[in-house]
Every structure is written in C-alpha cells, then in structure tokens.
A and B are shown apart, each in its own frame.
Chain A
C-alpha cells in the first residue's frame, strides 16, 4: 500500500482544459482519494482547480513544455542588475523575516524571526538572519569604529578595523540562538509556525580574529583575570560577562558573515561570536573588551536572560544553549497537499558540542527512527537531518529529538517544566510536536 502511495500521490496529472466536467472532476478526485480509482486518474487525469488555467494541456502534452515560454524565446536581463548586488527571485518573497504581532510595542527593541520553514542546509542567508535589537540598529562608519581592550592587561590597546583585519583570522560555522527562542511555548502553545516558535536561531560562517589572539597581544593577567566584559557601541551599549576560559577558547571578534562583511542589523562592522552561548552575549557593534576578576551583573544578566525557577529564585548567567532540534518541513502552518511520500527535514544544534544523532517520531513519541545527518557536522553549528516518511492520511504527530556529543538527550516539554517550572522565559529547548491532521494541515501542539 505504501509503495503504491509513494508512486501515485503527490503528482499532478494534468488533463486537457475542460476535458472533464466539474462532476467528472469531483468523481475523479474522490476516486483518487480512495485509492481505488488509479486507472481513472491515470487515464482521465485530474486538473488542479485553481491552477487549471496555467496547467492547461493539450492531449499530446503539457503546455509548459510544448509552448515555449518567453524566457526561452526572448532576451534575458543584463549582468550586474540591482545595483550590482543580487536579490532572491521575485517568486521567493514570501520567505522573509517577520515580527510576531503583539510581542513588542517598539520596533527598535524587537525581534524579527528567521523563516526556518523554507530554508535548506545549515547556512542562514544573511538577509534572513534573525534580528534582536535592544535600542535600534545602526550602520556605523567602519573607518571610525574602534575596539578597546582594557582592565587587567599589561597594555590597554585600541584597534582600528584596519588593524583587526590585518591579524590572523579564522572562519568558522556557528549557530546563534537567542536565549528566548521558543519562549512563547513554556506554558502552552502560543504561535502558529516554526518561524515564530524557533526562528530566533540562525547559522552562519563567521570570519574574524580569535579573542584569545587579542587578549594575548594585550598581555592579559593570567593569574587575576576571571572574566571579560564585552560592550557594544550602540545606544544600549549592550554588556555581557564571559568567563576567561571561554574567551580564550573559541570566541571570535568577527567582521564577516557568510563571505561578506556583517550586515548592519547583525553588528557591522564588528561583533563578538561566542559559540554555543545565547545570542545576547554576541555583542554587536563591539567597542570594548574589559578583562576583570568579577562578574558584572549587567542589566541583561541581572533583570533579563535569567531563569525564573519554581522556588522564586532566578538562575543567573545561564548562557549555554543546550541541545535542541526541530522539524522544519513539514511544520506547523504548512499543508500536506496529499498523502504519500515526504522527506521530513529539520535542524539540530547544541551549545555543548556537535550533534551525534537525531531521532524522528511520527506517532507522538511512541516509536522513533534515526534520521540521516547531512554534512558537514560542525561543533556548535546547525546540523541538517532528513528522514523518509510515507503519510497514510491519518492524524500523525511529528517530533524530532537530538542527542549531542556529550550524550545529552533533548528533553520533552513536561520534563523541562518538571525541573524549571513554567515562569521562565529563557532556554526552552524541548522536543517540538507538530500535529498532521487528516486535511493535511500541520499545527503546533504539545504532547508529553
């Protein structure tokens, strides 16, 4: 049965325009739905109702093939259009960063979400990288931007962009996830698509100089230094504490993202990359690194980005983005057009290392199969997974569950709540459930 389904379904079999009466069409459709009328469907064909005009086809074949389109018979456009910087196809404008209505009052202190539902592979196109601004974004003149390193160092130094970009650089792929990604789902289902549940995560190749190189150049005090403070040059002058071990490990003072300079809304000309740690620590418009011996308790580590626990305490400095995954297609808000074969695909990531395995369930977590991981599998970066699924038309609950290189297994939402309650806003990394209904619509649900 499932073999037949995968052969027959999901393909449009066009008919000559007006070849079938509406009644016949309905009959053919019903027959096809019941899997009994394969012969009728194959023989007579089923015209897509809304697409009928464009799919109209003569008896000897489809118009899209037989009648050569303008782009095959005319002259195309010139090089270096669009002021020399290419844009996506006009057919792709549906996939864009979007705000969640009502989430914030002011656009300068808001979020726009990455449309994960339509992306491929692991690299987020720079124009679709999620945004989170605390006091609006700027497009800073790079020739006037400076990075200062001060505090517990032998030489308090100032670097121009010229200086920084002459230094030995690294290029590394890392995910960046806002600590509040999936926050709306702590208590119950609140938003309709994966763009809004998980769209505050992106993954890019970043290029810059290792922070350790700069700290060595400044002769940081190896005995006394315990933390660094990273500070931005924008109005909020975002400040975050980072421990010295991490600062000396894999943090990058980055100027480039995906082969070009950072986009202004992502911190042009300089941002800190703190692999595995929530996005708020990836300070944009980075102007200063202070080496110190105590934590700083800045506003965004003393009022926000703290985890409200059931006993009324707050956990402070919980920056790790733990192992997480989500199915991006099919996902909530999408509609399966028909029964049959689907390539279920999604993303997994861990702030503690690399993705070891992703399992997928289509029955709400009762049974699991291990998905194929696509390369490259990079530590603290997104990993793309795929798995085959033949939908039989019955309700199904799709879930993905990631395991990282430390052996940590992504938890269920009820397991997360049992430890951390429901008052927290941050660090929600639970298994996400998508319900596929009989009408093919996929929706956001919570199951335990």
Chain B
C-alpha cells in the first residue's frame, strides 16, 4: 500500500482497474464511485422483495380456502375474468382445456396439434408452475388495484382457480405447507422445455436457410394474402402515410384502382391530430379508467352499454347522484350477475362528471 501512495491519482485508478480484472470485487472496493448509494434496510428489502420462485423461495406463510377465494373472486376478479375464469371478453381465459389425465401425466394433451378441447389456450393449459400463479396474483392483481390483496386472499384466489381446474377439491385450503404437493398436480408441469440456443447470446438458431443468390428454388404460388373485404380493416392507409415522396398510402376507402394512380394521388391528405386519449372530459375518463373495457358506448360488453344505462335512467330525478354512487362503489344484480368492481381510484368529482355525462345521453 505504501508504494501506491507515491503514485499519481490517475495511476491509482488504472492500477486498481487492472487488478480488478483478476481480483473479483477489487473494482468495487477501489472505484471512486463504489460508495454511491446506501445500504437497504431489512424493512425496505422486505417491502419490495415479493417474488416467489418455483421452489417457493419468497412465499410468505399463510392459508386460504377455495370458498374464501371464491368470495374475493366474485367481487374483485369476475368482472374481467368471468365467474369461472372462463372469460375471453376482456382478458384471455384462465381456466379450461385440461383433463384429469393431464393432471395425472403433467402434460396437457390439448396443446398438441389438433387435440385442443377449448376454443382458446388458457392459462392453466400452459402454466407449469403454481408459484407463477401465486406470484402474479400477489404482485399485479386486481388489475386496477394491484398489490391490495392480503396474503391469505392470494392463497384463497389461487385455491379457487385451482379448484375450477380440478387440481384441488372444492373444500381445499391452500397453504405454504401444502403448495409443493399441489405443484405435483399441475396439469402442464412437464410441458416446458428449456431450449438453451435461444437463451444464450452465442447459441445457434434452430431454423436454417441458405443465402442462395441466383435461380433459387421457389414455390411461385402466393400462399396467403388479405381478402378484399379486409381492405379498410385498419382504416384508410392513405392517412397513415406521408403526403410526399416516392409512394403514397393506398386509399382504402375505395376499391383498388384499375390502373396506376399516377400523380393524382399527390393530393395531400393530412389527418388532423387525434385528440389525445384521456383528459378531463367524461370520455377521456372512461378511457383512462378502463371503463370501456366492460362498457361499450353503444353496446353491452361485460356490463351494459353507456347508451343503455342512459336510457334506463332517463327521467329519474336522482339519476346523477344514483349513478355517481354506483360508479364509485360498484354493484351487481341490476344488469346481470356479473358484478362491477368498486372504482376506488376515481375521485368523487370524476365520478360525478361521468354520471352527468351518462344522464345527458352518453354522447
């Protein structure tokens, strides 16, 4: 050390950096920035270190029964996922497509080519690890109020979902003690393959092509193209391209032209900037609060269309106050069994704005 003190500052840094190449944490110890930041307190680590691994490292102790989970599900989850996890209205279905044999074999038969017994791939068909379900519900659900479930509620909701898939019986209570046993019944537990070449940067791909340059073998047939009726499915493409340059967007409001359009397509078509989604008006709030996920402006999706609500309460004197309350606290039974979750994130003023907008005709 004494000899280093005789060197210039620059030399110390260089010397430290060089030694870091061979001696592990020497850089961290010697770099002039190594003390930047501060130690995390145990409470801070506990608050944020919420991940649960497949070996259940990180899983907090707790318990939740299927019926406890069902109660939470009906209030906080069913509106998006369906009462039985079957919904594809808002999100892809969670439950369905697995069998008792799958539970026995640990492989979901329905994932094989042509063997599917459900219209869509469900979460339970794919997921191999029960820790994944627990971790995700705990960190990210409910969708509009993540991380608000208690540990026992997460156990309960997980148990409820697993009971719908018949992984656990209807009277089951899931706990940190028995979850490893439940893992052994996951329908697709043996369905995952780790394919290292597509994980490592220096791996070799699994699909091979050769860079033929001349008279290469091709199949001259056009195997797939967009049908004419889909011409404007993504709006007017002309309005999605620049108004100058070598090409123009095709005018998809009209049938394809018979011949070259020539410079006649040069007429500038610039679309006025779209009003930003969100904002202080009622429609903006519908968007930022994801109301339109369940309510169409003119149609029922999961819940009634805004036009239907408007029509139903037309002429009712306290309609605005009533709807303001319903928006804030949610409810069920008026329009069907699927409950609308409480919208705690909405301020009273915003709920009032939306209620007023509905009463005024939802236009």
Which residues of A does B touch, CB under 8 Å? 10, 12, 29, 33, 46, 48-51, 90-96, 98, 100-101, 105-109, 115, 117-118, 134-136, 148-151, 154-160, 163, 166-168, 188-193, 195-196, 213, 216-219, 222, 229, 231, 235-237, 239, 243, 245-246, 249, 276, 287-288, 290, 292, 294-299, 302-303, 306-320, 322, 329-330, 333-339, 342-343, 351-352, 357, 359, 364-368, 393, 397, 401, 403, 406, 408-412, 414-416, 418-421, 423, 427, 435, 437-448
How close is A387's CB to chain B, nearest CB, in angstroms? 14
B268 within 8 A of A: yes
Contact present for A338 and B222 (CB under 8 Å): no
Chain B 180-215 interface residues, beta-carbon cutoff 8 Å to A? 191-195, 198-215
Q: A367: which of B51, B215, B256 is its contact (CB, 8 Å)?
A: B215
B36 within 8 A of A: yes
Number of interface residues of B (CB under 8 A): 125
Contact present for B271 and A336 (CB under 8 Å): no
A188 to B202, CA, bound (A): 31
- Chain A residues with Cβ below 8 Å from B194 are 315-317
Contact present for B270 and A93 (CB under 8 Å): yes
Q: Which 9 pairs, one residue from A and one from B, show the smallest C-beta to C-beta distance?
A: A312-B112, A318-B198, A50-B267, A312-B111, A333-B237, A48-B263, A299-B136, A188-B224, A446-B224
- Chain A residues with Cβ below 8 Å from B191 are 312-314
Output the residue of A94, A157, A246 with the most chain B CB within 10 A: A94
Contact present for B37 and A158 (CB under 8 Å): yes
Which residues of B does A touch, CB under 8 Å? 20, 24-25, 27-28, 31, 33-34, 36-40, 44-45, 48-51, 53-55, 57, 89-91, 107-109, 111-113, 115, 121, 123, 126-129, 131-132, 135-136, 139-140, 143, 146-147, 191-195, 198-216, 218-226, 230-231, 233-235, 237, 239-250, 252, 256-274, 277, 287, 290, 292-293, 301
Contact present for B49 and A150 (CB under 8 Å): yes
Contact present for B199 and A320 (CB under 8 Å): yes
**A158-B136 contact in complex given A306-B192, A352-B201, A415-B208, C-beta closer than 8 Å:** no
Contact present for B123 and A303 (CB under 8 Å): yes
**A302-B132 contact in complex given A308-B121, A337-B261, C-beta closer than 8 Å:** yes
- Specify the chain B residue showing the minimal Cβ separation from A439: B257
A24 to B146, CA, bound (A): 70
Contact present for B220 and A312 (CB under 8 Å): no
**A299-B241 contact in complex given A51-B266, A93-B272, C-beta closer than 8 Å:** no
A339 to B263, CA, bound (A): 11
How close is A27's CB to chain B, nearest CB, in angstroms? 14
Output the residue of B38, B40, B57 with the most chain A CB within 10 A: B40
A139 to B140, CA, bound (A): 18
Contact present for B290 and A302 (CB under 8 Å): no
Q: A290: which of B49, B107, B109 is its contact (CB, 8 Å)?
A: B49
Contact present for A196 and B49 (CB under 8 Å): no
- Specify the chain A residue showing the minimal Cβ separation from B80: A106
Contact present for B28 and A219 (CB under 8 Å): yes
Q: B213: which of A334, A368, A419 is its contact (CB, 8 Å)?
A: A368
- Chain B residues with Cβ below 8 Å from A158 are 37-40, 44
Contact present for B53 and A294 (CB under 8 Å): yes
Contact present for B246 and A343 (CB under 8 Å): yes
